[in-house]
Amino acid sequence: MRFCRATIALILLACGTHTLAAQEAKSGCTNRHYAVNIEIGKAYISGICVAQRNEGEEILSIVNEFGVSALTCKRNGEGKPLRIVNILKPLNKFYIKRVLRKDLYTIMPELLGEVSDKEREIKHNNERYGISYRFRPISDI
């Protein structure tokens, strides 16, 4: 019985992934999933990054390994400023948010761009503050 349920769940997941890709192509919505690692000196944040573009609105969300939303930012249209909507309490300092906002503003077009090579890793280094960002694509199921 468990085998049957697991098989049905896998089939539905595969169909849902294919349907999601078809809807994405039809609606103009872009979704990208990355494994992210942000290193700041001796501290780091790692987890999953979901970048989404939907009708001119761009949203970037980073969730750590425990399922806690570490950072969510939003931009309404190309060239508009990036706004941090949600951030972890230890990172909720004006100087940290300012640096993250500037760095993510430069990284976001690469994350949501038309990528011909899906296995391309995106790296960004902020040498002034010693912060390195690394985004590795998560391959589709």
Give strand pairing partners of 125. Answer: 132
pTM over 0.75: no
Note the pLDDT tens digit of each residue in 59-99: 999 998 888 899 999 998 777 889 999 999 988 999 989 99
Q: Which two tokens stand for residue 48?
A: 């999953």
Structure confidence at residue 56 (pLDDT) = 81
Cα 53 to Cα 36: distance, rounded to the nearest angstrom: 18
* Domain ranges across the chain: 30-137
Cα 26 to Cα 120: distance, rounded to the nearest angstrom: 25
| Mean pLDDT of the region 37-57 | 88
15: three-class secondary structure by DSSP: helix
Give strand pairing partners of 123. Answer: 134
Note the pLDDT tens digit of each residue in 7-43: 444 344 444 444 344 444 445 678 889 999 999 888 8
Contacts (Cβ under 8 Å, ≥6 apart) of 35: 46, 47, 48, 49, 135, 136, 137, 138
Contact 79, 96 (CB under 8 A): no
For residue 19, how many other CB atoms are within 10 A of its CB? 10
Structure confidence at residue 120 (pLDDT) = 78
